[in-house]
Amino acid sequence: MKRTISILLVCFMLVALLAGCGSEPASSTPTPGQTSSAPNESQAPETTPEPEIVDGRFTKTRSITVEIYDRSNDGGSPPEDNFYTDFIKEGMLRDHNVEVTFVPVGRWTEVEEINNLLAAGDAPDVCVTYSYPTIQTYANMGGVLDMAPYLEEYKDLLPNLYELLTERNLFWNKDPEKGTVWAIEALLFNNARISTFVREDWLKKLNLPEPTTLEEFENMLRAFKDNAQLLLGSEASQMIPFSISYDIGWRADHLLSAFVPNDMTDKEAYIHGFDDRHILYPGIKEGVRVLNKWYNEGLIWQDFNLYGAGDNTEDNLMKAGYVGSFIHNWDYPYRNGEEGIHANMQKLVGPDAAFIAVNCFKNDAGLYRKFLANPIDRKVFFPSTNDEPLASLLYLDWISKLENRRFLQIGEEGVTHEVMPDGAIKLLSATGDKIMNSPNNIDYTITINGLDLGNAELNAKSLALGYAGVDARFIEKAWPLSKQDGRIIPQFNVGEVKSEEGMGPALADKRDNFLVQAVSCPPDQFDAVFDAGYQDYLNSGGQAIIDERTVKFAEYYE
């Protein structure tokens, strides 16, 4: 009996397996087949019949799908179906006769989700991501449509897109050899990046002026520590003169940038510029040494090295008023209204408690040097399954039109904003269907990041009013200071650098490891720890990137 059963079982399994394997490829082959043939058709737009389009309007209704980030925020509306999506849908149907359907994709898992959608051939026609390496990887696999021919061919139909992004952002990623454009770059309208913050009320209590040099900043930290009893009373043991996180490169940016020689050339900066925290720039090590000294003197939060990304322990320490200074995103303490650091400090500590932005780290030329970002933001790309490239481009054009994006950014008057006597716009928080799921509806205006009302003066005034419950003077101070003496390393477009592929996360992790270890080790071990970590970073792919960038730079720019 055993034998019969086993024979039967084996037969059954074989049949089932064959059925499984047989049907699987058969059913899935058409999809790759379609996708691989699509670029061929599309790479030569002139072979496709002339689109039936009159005055920018299709004669027959077209339909496209568009990715939209889903932040699943409390009290938010469905990101794919709300007041603002209706506004876009109606407008697109009216102006271009294109039907738009939104496809929600989790904001924090976007890369993984887009990955799945692309593999299944279901990716939205208009995709958006922050990660260019991801797009490059997909493009190498043949999963992305080359936008260059369409951008050229339909230039006249896309006046708003060209006006907002300009040729610079549209062709930012153009391959210098093949001329392909896998993705266009959204405009980073506001490139303020990082600020240094100190407790304004503590300075007053201790009769200290705002620090303007590294030395003054250091003395201020010591003063905070020595006067913990006065500043924090019974909670004196909680005193944290300077707080930092595992992300040293970001959270000490101003300090580290000040140690980079002023005469570093753009070429040097490019070659050593793979890491977005600039860890390979010359001079950084001495900056980290300062942090190591502070840590060992007890001026830095001693437990910072235990906490990873997304942990809000440090935020809570700031909210409780234990933190004297820190470096972070240029508007960090003022964000999030009632839930934010500023509002909580005012509640828990007192109405005077506030962080104020300062500049105190000068480089060897006496400048408050900081490295600012190029005017690029999110990357918009079309997967190769997109068979409506023109309708998709018209969509991008439509949301780039000042009138349309202005409405998306500020919403309805009296509901999501009010107009001040001087014309500035003050944002109000709305609930219900008209709630904005992201600040200034950034998720819908995928071609621009930053409030733009079409008038520089109004923009500046409105920006300062954009933080509910925060005195405008804090914003007005932080904003220019975070850009003072900023340097932007120009883009060097050398096409794809092969050794960078897939290395981003692994190298970033190595960087964070050795920086954290170098900051928290005893001073006499600092050199050993830093050098070993730095060498490991280079050996694990860092050096290969430097070498390839050197070669490519010489090839295209020398």
Partner 1 sequence: MLGLSRQQSTKCLLPQRQNMMSKGDTTVKTVTLSSSPGRGKKAVAYLKRYWTLYLLLLLPITYFVIFKYVPMQYIQIAFKKYSIVQNVWEMPWADNNGFEYFIKAFENKDFLNALRNTIMLNFLDLLCGFPAPIILALLLTELPFPRYKRVTQTIAYMPHFLSWIIIAGLAKQLFAPTTGLVNNFLGKLGVDPVPFLNEPIWWVVTYIALGIWQSVGWNTIIYLAAIAGINPELYEAASMDGAGRLRKMWHITLPGIRSTIVVLLILSLGRILGSEFDRPYALGNHMVNNVSNVIAIFVYKYGIQGLQFSLATAVGLFQSVVCVIFLFAANALAKRFGERGVW
* Residue span binding partner 1 (CB under 8 A) among the ranges 95-103, 118-126, 421-429, 487-495: 118-126
Longest distance between any two alpha carbons in the chain, whole Å: 95
Cβ-based nearer residue to partner 1, 86 or 235: 235
Cβ-based nearer residue to partner 1, 141 or 554: 141
C-alpha triplet 144, 146, 148: angle, nearest 5°? 155
CA end-to-end distance (rounded Å), the chain: 80
517 binds partner 1 (CB under 8 A): yes
61, 302, 455, 484: which one contacts partner 1 (CB under 8 A)?
A: 302
Instruction: Report d(CA 268, CA 550) in Å as an integer.
Output: 9
Directed axis angle between helix 504-520 and helix 284-296, to 10°?
A: 50
Q: Pattern 233-252, binding to partner 1, x per CB under 8 A?
A: -------------x------
Q: What is the DSSP string of 98-113?
A: EEEEEEEEEGGGHHHH
Q: Which runs of consecutive H residues, i.e. helices, occur in 172-213?
A: 200-205
For residue 348, give the amino acid letter: L
Residue 108 CB, nearest approach to partner 1 (Å): 13
Comparing CA positions, the residue from 523, 102, 459 lying closest to residue 295 is 523
Cβ-based nearer residue to partner 1, 433 or 509: 509
For residue 500, give the amino acid letter: E
Token pair belonging to 39 = 């670029």
- 29: alpha, beta or left? (left if phi > 0; alpha if psi -120 to 50): alpha
Cβ-based nearer residue to partner 1, 19 or 554: 19
130 binds partner 1 (CB under 8 A): no
36 binds partner 1 (CB under 8 A): yes
499 binds partner 1 (CB under 8 A): no
535 binds partner 1 (CB under 8 A): no
8 binds partner 1 (CB under 8 A): yes
283 binds partner 1 (CB under 8 A): no
Residue 2 CB, nearest approach to partner 1 (Å): 9
Residue 25 CB, nearest approach to partner 1 (Å): 5
119 binds partner 1 (CB under 8 A): yes
Instruction: Report d(CA 513, CA 248) in Å as an integer.
Output: 10
Residue 153 CB, nearest approach to partner 1 (Å): 24
296 binds partner 1 (CB under 8 A): no
305 binds partner 1 (CB under 8 A): yes
Cβ-based nearer residue to partner 1, 346 or 517: 517
Comparing CA positions, the residue from 380, 381, 323 lying closest to residue 353 is 323
202 binds partner 1 (CB under 8 A): no
179, 308, 366, 480: which one contacts partner 1 (CB under 8 A)?
A: 308
Cβ-based nearer residue to partner 1, 1 or 54: 1
The SS3 assignment for 431 reads: coil
CB 417 within 8 A of CB 411: yes
Q: Which runs of consecutive H residues, i.e. helices, occur in 411-525?
A: 456-464, 472-481, 504-520
350, 414, 454, 505: which one contacts partner 1 (CB under 8 A)?
A: 505
Give φ, ψ of 381 to 5 degrees: -140, 160
Residue 513 CB, nearest approach to partner 1 (Å): 5
Q: What is the DSSP string of 114-125?
A: HHHHHHTT---S
Site residues for partner 1, 365-394, by CB under 8 A, read 384
420 binds partner 1 (CB under 8 A): no
Instruction: Report d(CA 102, CA 87) in Å as an integer.
Output: 13
For residue 138, give the amino acid letter: Y
Residue linked to tokens 């101003």: 254
* Residue span binding partner 1 (CB under 8 A) among the ranges 202-210, 283-291, 436-444, 510-518: 510-518
Q: Pattern 86-115, binding to partner 1, x per CB under 8 A?
A: -------------------------xx--x
35 binds partner 1 (CB under 8 A): yes
Residue linked to tokens 């379609």: 34
133 binds partner 1 (CB under 8 A): yes
262 binds partner 1 (CB under 8 A): no
Token pair belonging to 23 = 């049907």
118, 157, 451, 489: which one contacts partner 1 (CB under 8 A)?
A: 118
Q: By CB neighbour count within 10 A (0-12 exposed, 13-18 middle, 19+ buried), where does 348 fall?
A: exposed
The SS3 assignment for 194 reads: strand
Site residues for partner 1, 13-32, by CB under 8 A, read 13, 16-17, 20-21, 24-25, 28-29, 32
Give φ, ψ of 370 to 5 degrees: -145, 150
Instruction: Report d(CA 382, CA 476) in Å as an integer.
Output: 39
Residue linked to tokens 């509306």: 77
Instruction: Report d(CA 188, CA 531) in Å as an integer.
Output: 36
User: Strand 184-188 and strand 376-381: pairing?
Assistant: antiparallel
* Residue span binding partner 1 (CB under 8 A) among the ranges 54-62, 345-353, 481-489, 534-542: 534-542
Comparing CA positions, the residue from 388, 473, 350, 329 lying closest to residue 97 is 388
* Residue span binding partner 1 (CB under 8 A) among the ranges 215-223, 422-430, 463-471, 499-507: 499-507
Residue 151 CB, nearest approach to partner 1 (Å): 23
506 binds partner 1 (CB under 8 A): yes
423 binds partner 1 (CB under 8 A): no
540 binds partner 1 (CB under 8 A): yes
Cβ-based nearer residue to partner 1, 65 or 85: 65
Instruction: Report d(CA 235, CA 121) in Å as an integer.
Output: 58
58, 87, 162, 307: which one contacts partner 1 (CB under 8 A)?
A: 307
Interface residues toward partner 1, by CB under 8 A = 1, 3-4, 8-9, 12-13, 16-17, 20-21, 24-25, 28-29, 32, 35-36, 111-112, 115, 118-119, 121, 133-134, 137-138, 141-143, 246, 302-303, 305-308, 313, 384, 502-506, 509, 512-513, 516-517, 520, 536, 539-540
